[in-house]
Amino acid sequence: MNEFALIRRYFQRDCADPAVLLGVGDDCALLKLPADEILLVSTDLLVAGRHFPMDTAPFDIGHKALAVNLSDLAAMGARPLGVTLGLALPKADADWLAGFAEGFHALAAECGVCLVGGDTVASPQLTIAVTVLGAGQAGRILRRDAAKPGDLIAVTGTLGDAGLGLRAVMTPERVPAVLPRDELDFLVARLNRPSPRLAEGQRLSVFAHAAIDISDGLVQDLTHILDASGVGAEIDATRIPLSAAARNWLQADPTLDTLPLTAGDDYELLFTLDPAHWDQVDFPATVIGSIRAEPGLVIRDAAGNPLTLSQGGFDHFAGPTA
């Protein structure tokens, strides 16, 4: 199969979006940006063996490559306009390409976005670069630098699932025997098929202050908001929302109890808002703390004592050795 047949077979699809004037096939794609809207652009690269295990199912790779990019649009409250795909492939394996394309296009259809272009090359290392284009209204774009003292800090969904899913994939022998099969499958699906919180982000763009998607872990991503906004925060570790599967695993292995603070890849939204607007949050979300004027992040455990960062993450031993 030559390069052009490959592109036609796997990546050229009909696009029903009237704003896509021209999609795959010409030198450039043409997109109509609504009058008075801002264009948002974001790119993420995924390298096989580094960003996903080599033996990840191609469908999941296709899904996740798109999901992590759409999540960046969600984090700013934008709506997707189009997406491009750069693919560096060791070989044109038809089964792999079919699975990858299916995962990619299925999520694209679900999110109402078209693949409008890209580039395909042969290269020893499987590498995937996705660029998303989005639109938002000026003044309604959620930035990291907009948190204010007194804001509530909240997250969508549950945290720690993908981190536990990764543990299950990498070290299956360490999964507690009590964990039911369907809960284990749920955690691995949270790792491999994250849901970009686009609807939530667009809803939040009306009233929230700052937002970010949790790709690197709650503490790391919250710290980005605090640094950009020049504020501090206090969060309550006991309020971090956990799925039933995560709760069961952490109960069976209490040494992992701070994992939901630091594990990445959940792609939930972390956002701050004026407490007066909390009643407008009409989707699953949980308040975990608040923004304060004093810089720094304080995380309290069940006893109200501050947790301290150590080598492997947070622990319960506060002290100057951190």
Report the partner that residue 7 touches, choosing among Mg ion, ligand ADP, none (CB closer than 5 to 8 A by kind): ligand ADP
- In the complex with ligand ADP, the residue whose CB is nearer, 115 or 231, is 115
- Asked whether position 58 contacts ligand ADP by CB under 6 A, the answer is no
Nearer to ligand ADP (CB atom), residue 15 or residue 208: 15
Q: Which of 213, 206, 68, 69 is nearest to 141 (CA)?
A: 206
Shortest Cβ 27–Mg ion spacing (Å): 4
Binding to ligand ADP by residue 7, rule CB under 6 A? yes
Q: Which is nearer to Mg ion, 84 or 205 (CB)?
A: 84
The binder of ligand ADP chosen from 1, 5, 21, 25 (CB under 6 A)? 25
Minimum gap (Å) between residue 113 Cβ and Mg ion: 23
Interaction between residue 14 and ligand ADP (CB under 6 A): no
Q: Closest residue to Mg ion, Cβ-based?
A: 27
Please choose, out of 22-30, 43-51, 65-73, 195-203, the segment that lies near Mg ion by the rule CB under 5 A.
22-30
Residue of 56, 120, 131, 308 interacting with ligand ADP (CB under 6 A): 120
Query: Nearest distance from residue 193's CB to Mg ion, in Å?
Result: 34
Is residue 24 a contact residue for ligand ADP (CB under 6 A)? yes
Among 62, 117, 134, 201, interactor with ligand ADP by CB under 6 A: 117
Q: Which stretch binds ligand ADP (CB under 6 A): 67-75, 112-120, 171-179, 251-259?
A: 112-120
Assess 27 for contact with ligand ADP (CB under 6 A): yes
Closest CB to ligand ADP among residues 27, 279:
27
Taking CA atoms, 112 is separated from 153, 164, 226, in Å, by 29, 30, 33
Q: Which residues contact 138 (CB under 8 A, 6 or more apart)?
A: 36, 37, 38
Written in H, E and C, the secondary structure of the chain is: CCHHHHHHHHHCCCCCCCCEEECECECCCEECCCCCEEEEEEEEEEEECCCECCCCCHHHHHHHHHHHHHHHHHHCCCEEEEEEEEEEECCCCHHHHHHHHHHHHHHHHHHCCCEEEEEEEECCCCEEEEEEEEEEECCCCCEHHHCCCCCEEEEECCCCHHHHHHHHHHCHHHCCCCCCHHHHHHHHHHHHCCCCCHHHHHHHCCCCCEEEECCCCHHHHHHHHHHHHCCEEEEEHHHCCCCHHHHHHHHHCHHHCCHHHHCCCCCCEEEEECHHHHHHCCCCEEEEEEEECCCEEEEECCCCCECEEECCEEECCCCCCC
- Number of CB atoms found within 10 A of residue 262's CB: 18
Which partner from the list Mg ion, ligand ADP, none does 61 bind, CB cut-off 5 to 8 Å by kind? none
- Taking the complex as a whole, the smallest distance from the CB of residue 20 to Mg ion amounts, in Å, to 18
Closer residue to Mg ion in complex, CB, 27/36: 27
- Residue from 14, 16, 27, 320 in contact with Mg ion (CB under 5 A): 27
Q: What's the min distance (Å) between Cβ of 172 and ligand ADP?
A: 33
How many whole angstroms separate alpha carbon 259 and alpha carbon 96?
33
Binding mask 75-104 for ligand ADP (x = CB under 6 A): ----------x-x-----------------
User: In angstroms, how far apart are the furthest CA atoms of the chain?
Assistant: 63
Six-digit token string for 51: 């960003």
With CB under 6 A as the rule, give the number of residues binding ligand ADP.
13
Residues that bind Mg ion (CB under 5 A): 27
Residues that bind ligand ADP (CB under 6 A): 7, 11, 24-27, 85, 87, 115, 117-120
